[in-house]
Chain A
């Protein structure tokens, strides 16, 4: 964009003059990059002002991450740095997140449009997210990304741009080009297609605040321990309590499935699993009739879907399958931690 633009006015803004976007995702799906693209599109592409940033921390692949965009008119200053709590657009990149993160907190009917990457209809999405009401948009970003050989974030940017009511298509297109064009020229056709389909195919429906679900305000983290209750020095006495965490949100569609009839109890899977998901017990080996360690199953609470085990399993007892086609609760075998 070499030409300066006419001043763009925002259709809606909060008290400080911002239109705010929050993206809920997991590391690896490109929410942070999506934020950067939208920020560039607004500032350089449209001559506005704003800020783009992500939740700060060690960003491991598969861990929950938030990305934020604040857009304001050209003369408004950006003086705040805090995360977006009550966004105008809340874009959820990964459905499974709702198991681990209160992603919908602060979604306010009449203000927020929620966009969910899903195969669900808007009504199903509303029930799935238990939203008190308001506008809900759905888009099958995973499928579009697959079909266009692009990524989920491109589709979501398209959908966000559409719903914002002020992002100019040309500016967004230009910002995507600016981010990837030179380095990944061969992917640009797919990216543009994904972007366009996100823009065109997002389906929005408005739901009244009918009392079906309660409004969930945004709540800032309240630590478990405080200065009057925490053991001094940050010392922890509760060993191993990470096992209470649910890591299934790291998975992106494929899981290992165990066919015990093919298992030869070699132990290869147990050692290659970085997340210690395999549940073994002492028992009688059905083949030899002797006592030994027997594999019982997989504890899917911890499985991140890396599929190392399916590759290492020589007899083919572990195979990759689509998670959507399985009933995880039925096939999971829980570890017995406290004996």
Chain B
């Protein structure tokens, strides 16, 4: 982060820094000092919020950072905030953008500007976290202005220009700044920034609202129901505004050049002066392709490259002018508009040339680099050579094609790892009987259960000492018969899959974590319906289990509650590792007060997470699920007993099981002392072991009665992530946390005593 001074006469001082695209986006946001960032973490954009949160803890800015319950919630936070008269920022990627999609036309259609960084990534499924443009191109037609930032320097520059464009009174639209996931977001580069944030603030100017929801002296109605006489007029008005943005963008680009010395055009034309063949390509791949242009120019070929900085509004006139003398053009898209014979840019460029009397440009569309597939200089060379060939012959041999796809080796035969689990291998160890209205479990003997094969296999990629694979394996040991598991996105899903590998012996299905419970509902009901129709034997038995992290019960809480309300026969098992550990330990709502995560940093200006931990188990209990419980691997026989009971109660409806699951990496606990750490969480009554059977609460292990109850500080001191909780300045937070644990524990004890509570 250090800097070396550079002064250019007549311009504000700029300094050099070494940052990646995400960090530099955060730096721009810090310098602008937005009012609000509403966000939800998703790779590879997460680091923007993390960096800003860490800066906030150090007192470097006043941006109010608000984590949503999901991207849809985050978009709602941003929308609300933008109606209330201030400057708003968000960053996301891939399915995060799609989850917020429904809000995008709301934001643009009601004309509230904000800036949204899209760190581009391929859209699931299958789930791939790396870069392509399938996310941003799905948002092309939502009424937002779209700037494309080709490298980290552009990420900084465009983030400073973006609010000025969006807030211009002739535009008043939200704006995207899109840059390539990982290639741009995660590579450390040399970047020049303004030394004095005031320069940036002066350039952007104060936020001037057109309407405000928080001004009682001037009340407004935002979001009227609007019928057909009016709606089309609203859209025409909006359509004109986004077209006007073309001129505003050019003006702001010029103004920015004046203070920065860095020039941007709506189309960057690289060696296009006399080019007869060219490549039209976006962002980081375009930078790589310039090397190819240089190489072919050395051979004497008249080739060039067109790279748009602005794709909405689409700069039609500039594209036509740029292609005036180009005979052969390859348009390469890092996404596909399936069934449309080309990606988004291919379609736009073809449309731009449509109807031009003197058009000489023949176009071949290429789809490349999907899901982060590397794009090498030689790939660009091949594309340019094809453009040269088209220019020479005047013919396009292949109108639309994929580059870099592999047909595969037909002789490859996957080696067999296992036979399917037989009935005998998974039954006959545990029995559950109902006696006097209570379930009695026999056979939860660890030694005997070593005979039962793990349903998760050896060879998975979890960290050494991982609590979730140990806990979920223990849970599955308690289940008799065949299972089908649905895994939410998260650590468990990532480390047990990874094409073409599978770490599962029984059928596994993934869906994104905002929708797992609904998905499994569908599986369960199809199984039942096919049984009713005689397509599946009526004696066939499968236990359906959804496995989620605690994060999946932030974003996916709604569908889980919906499933409980519908009484499907399934188990929801949550491994609670206290944060979004798969993506680098961001705050989840189960993180306790004062604790430090990468989005609730502890520092002189921020004292970790500001709210208490969510009591997910009690939420499910309040839904009158037939069975909810909490269990921990420190008490393994209790855990297995609860798995067996959960399976039995799942015959009545959705049951909920919460397992506290140690994350050695995020909790910063030495792997070998995993069990004592979990035991301390239990003994401090932070994580009581209890169950609620048809509404009746039973505490299964009472540390108080056994003389083992410890203050919560005893648990906190076992973890690196919470050591700061014992600092003198955290005394008040620690006391509040202890008081909350005590309150919940006392309440639980009363529930244990009284079957009506």
Cβ contact within 8 Å between B376 and A44: no
B residues less than 8 Å from A307 (CB atoms): 465, 671-672
Any A CB within 8 A of the CB of B407: yes
The CA of A81 and the CA of B185, in the complex, are separated in Å by 11
B residues 460-485 near A (Cβ < 8 Å) are: 460-470, 473-474, 477
Question: Given A58, A227, A295, which contacts B494 in the complex, CB threshold below 8 Å?
Answer: A58
Cβ contact within 8 Å between B1 and A60: no
Cβ contact within 8 Å between B417 and A241: yes
Q: How many residues of B contact A (CB 8 A)?
A: 97
Task: Please choose the segment from B68-76, B107-115, B501-509 that sits at the chain A interface, where 4 or more of its residues have CB less than 8 A away.
Answer: B501-509
A residues less than 8 Å from B468 (CB atoms): 274
The CA of A245 and the CA of B458, in the complex, are separated in Å by 8
Cβ contact within 8 Å between B446 and A78: no
The CA of A61 and the CA of B426, in the complex, are separated in Å by 32
Cβ contact within 8 Å between B3 and A44: yes
Any A CB within 8 A of the CB of B254: no
Task: Please choose the segment from A45-53, A127-135, A190-198 that sits at the chain B interface, where 4 or more of its residues have CB less than 8 A away.
Answer: A45-53
Cβ contact within 8 Å between A311 and B673: yes
B295 to chain A, nearest CB (A): 9
Any B CB within 8 A of the CB of A253: no
Any A CB within 8 A of the CB of B9: no
Cβ contact within 8 Å between B410 and A229: yes
Nearest A-chain residue to B421, judged by Cβ: A239
Cβ contact within 8 Å between A39 and B408: no
B131 to chain A, nearest CB (A): 8
Cβ contact within 8 Å between B465 and A306: yes
A residues less than 8 Å from B418 (CB atoms): 239-240, 243, 337-338
The CA of A274 and the CA of B465, in the complex, are separated in Å by 6
The CA of A229 and the CA of B502, in the complex, are separated in Å by 18
The CA of A203 and the CA of B142, in the complex, are separated in Å by 60
Cβ contact within 8 Å between B129 and A58: yes
User: Given that A79-B290, A244-B417, A271-B633 are contacting pairs, would A49 and B190 also be in contact in the complex, using a CB cutoff of 8 Å?
Assistant: yes
B residues less than 8 Å from A78 (CB atoms): 189-190
Question: Given B126, B412, B454, which contacts A229 in the complex, CB threshold below 8 Å?
Answer: B412
Any A CB within 8 A of the CB of B284: yes
Any A CB within 8 A of the CB of B255: no
Using an 8 Å CB-CB cutoff, how does the interface string of A176-202 with B read, 1 for contact, 0 for none?
Answer: 001000000000000000000000000
B residues 163-190 near A (Cβ < 8 Å) are: 180, 182-184, 186-190
Any B CB within 8 A of the CB of A267: yes
Nearest B-chain residue to A179, judged by Cβ: B1
B440 to chain A, nearest CB (A): 21
The secondary structure that dominates the B interface is loop
Nearest A-chain residue to B474, judged by Cβ: A271
Using an 8 Å CB-CB cutoff, how does the interface string of B19-37 with A read, 1 for contact, 0 for none?
Answer: 0100000000000000000
The CA of A178 and the CA of B291, in the complex, are separated in Å by 33
- Interface size class for chain A? 35 or more
Question: Given B2, B187, B414, B451, which contacts A178 in the complex, CB threshold below 8 Å?
Answer: B2
A125 to chain B, nearest CB (A): 26
A residues 292-318 near B (Cβ < 8 Å) are: 292-293, 295, 299, 301-302, 304-308, 310-312
Any A CB within 8 A of the CB of B435: no
A residues 247-285 near B (Cβ < 8 Å) are: 247, 250-251, 265-268, 270-278, 280, 282
User: Given that A178-B1, A242-B457, A305-B464 are contacting pairs, would A79 and B288 also be in contact in the complex, using a CB cutoff of 8 Å?
Assistant: yes
Cβ contact within 8 Å between A60 and B495: yes
A residues less than 8 Å from B463 (CB atoms): 27, 60-62, 304
User: Given that A16-B291, A308-B674 are contacting pairs, would A50 and B186 also be in contact in the complex, using a CB cutoff of 8 Å?
Assistant: no
Any B CB within 8 A of the CB of A224: yes
A residues less than 8 Å from B189 (CB atoms): 51, 78
The CA of A280 and the CA of B420, in the complex, are separated in Å by 20
Using an 8 Å CB-CB cutoff, how does the interface string of A75-88 with B read, 1 for contact, 0 for none?
Answer: 00011111100000
Cβ contact within 8 Å between B417 and A243: yes
Cβ contact within 8 Å between A240 and B417: yes
User: Given that A4-B4, A49-B190, A51-B189 are contacting pairs, would A234 and B125 also be in contact in the complex, using a CB cutoff of 8 Å?
Assistant: yes
Using an 8 Å CB-CB cutoff, how does the interface string of B306-350 with A read, 1 for contact, 0 for none?
Answer: 000000000000000000000000000000000000000000000
Any B CB within 8 A of the CB of A210: no
Known pairs A40-B188, A227-B405, A250-B464. 17 more at Cβ < 8 A? A16-B377, A44-B16, A54-B186, A57-B130, A60-B495, A79-B287, A226-B407, A226-B409, A228-B407, A238-B417, A242-B502, A274-B465, A274-B470, A293-B451, A299-B458, A308-B672, A338-B416
Which 8 residue pairs spanning A and B have beta carbons closest together? A226-B408, A267-B446, A229-B408, A306-B465, A242-B459, A304-B464, A267-B447, A307-B672
Residues of B at the A interface (CB closer than 8 Å) are 1-6, 16-18, 20, 44, 125-126, 129-130, 180, 182-184, 186-190, 284, 287-288, 290-291, 372, 374-377, 405-410, 412, 414-420, 445-451, 454, 456-470, 473-474, 477, 491, 494-496, 499-506, 582, 633, 636, 664-665, 671-676
